Amino acid sequence: MKTAPKPLKVIGAEGSCLLLEGGIRLIDGTSSWWSVCHGYQHPYIINKMQQQLNRLSHVMFAGIAHQPAYELAEKIIKFSPEGLNKVFFADSGSVAVEIAMKMAVQYWRNNGNKRKNKFVCFKNGYHGDTMGALSLNDPESWIAKAFNNYAPQQFCVDLPF
């Protein structure tokens, strides 16, 4: 495996910028993998986080939940198309894809069909960097090629538009 370059040392962040050693400011173009789309140190978000930390810092959603999760789920359902009234929380996009894949396979197994275990993915698509999600990335992408002997091959098609 190639040696990665030495990582940049981040000492802080504010707004849409990362602050590096030596006073260098970089615009965080990926918003820390899209998790800080409202910027770093946003006062409203900091306040809400502090309120939640004072009540309950973390609970794993494995058959249990808490009031803020119920409230967020209701808001998501209001924005969702008719008939979509269930919410499953995951800790990342890759994990969400993995869980969706497992749920789909489990659905077919529960209905007596063990052969339905392949998925359709799109050329130029990216669905994550965990092993199952890797199998849904475009097989010609660098990340899929690096792991194509480990992830199952799926059906890759052109985008319909």
pLDDT tens per residue across span 105-128: 999 999 999 999 899 999 988 888
Task: Give tens-digit pLDDT for 51-99.
Answer: 999 998 888 878 888 888 999 999 999 999 999 999 999 888 899 999 9
Decide if 54 is inside a domain: no
Say if residue 89 is in the same domain as residue 160.
yes
Is residue 144 domain-resident?
yes
- Place 1 in a pLDDT band, splitting at 50, 70 and 90: low
Answer yes or no: is 132 within a domain: yes
What local confidence, expressed as pLDDT, does residue 19 receive? 97
pLDDT at 26 over 90: yes
Across the range 139-155, mean pLDDT stands at: 80
Q: What pLDDT sits at residue 145?
A: 80
Query: Is residue 76 one of the residues assigned to a domain?
Result: no
Shared domain check, 105 and 158: yes
Quick one: pLDDT at residue 80? 98
> What pLDDT, on the 0 to 100 scale, is given for residue 86?
93
Distance of CA 92 to the CA centre of its chain: 3
The full 3-state SS of 75-111, as one line of letters, equals: HHHHHCCCCCCCCCCCCCHHHHHHHHHHHHHHHHHHC
Same domain for 154 and 93: yes
Residues 37 and 98 in one domain: no
Q: Lowest mean pLDDT of 107-121, 123-137, 145-159, name the range.
A: 145-159
Number of domains in the chain: 2
Q: What is the pLDDT of residue 138?
A: 86
CA–CA distance, 83 with 80 (Å, rounded to integer): 8
In which domain, by residue range, is 142 found? 85-161
**Pairing verdict, β 120-122 and 155-157:** parallel
152 in a domain, yes or no?
Answer: yes
* 75 domain residue, yes or no: no
- Is residue 42 over pLDDT 90? yes
Instruction: Looking at the structure, tell me whether residues 36 and 92 fall in a common domain.
Output: no
With respect to residue 115, please indicate whether it lies within any of the assigned structural domains. Answer: yes
User: Are 94 and 24 members of one domain?
Assistant: no
Is 16 within the bounds of a domain?
Answer: yes
Same domain, 31 and 89: no
pLDDT of amino acid 77: 98
Q: With beta carbons less than 8 A apart as the criterion, state whether 10 and 19 touch.
A: yes
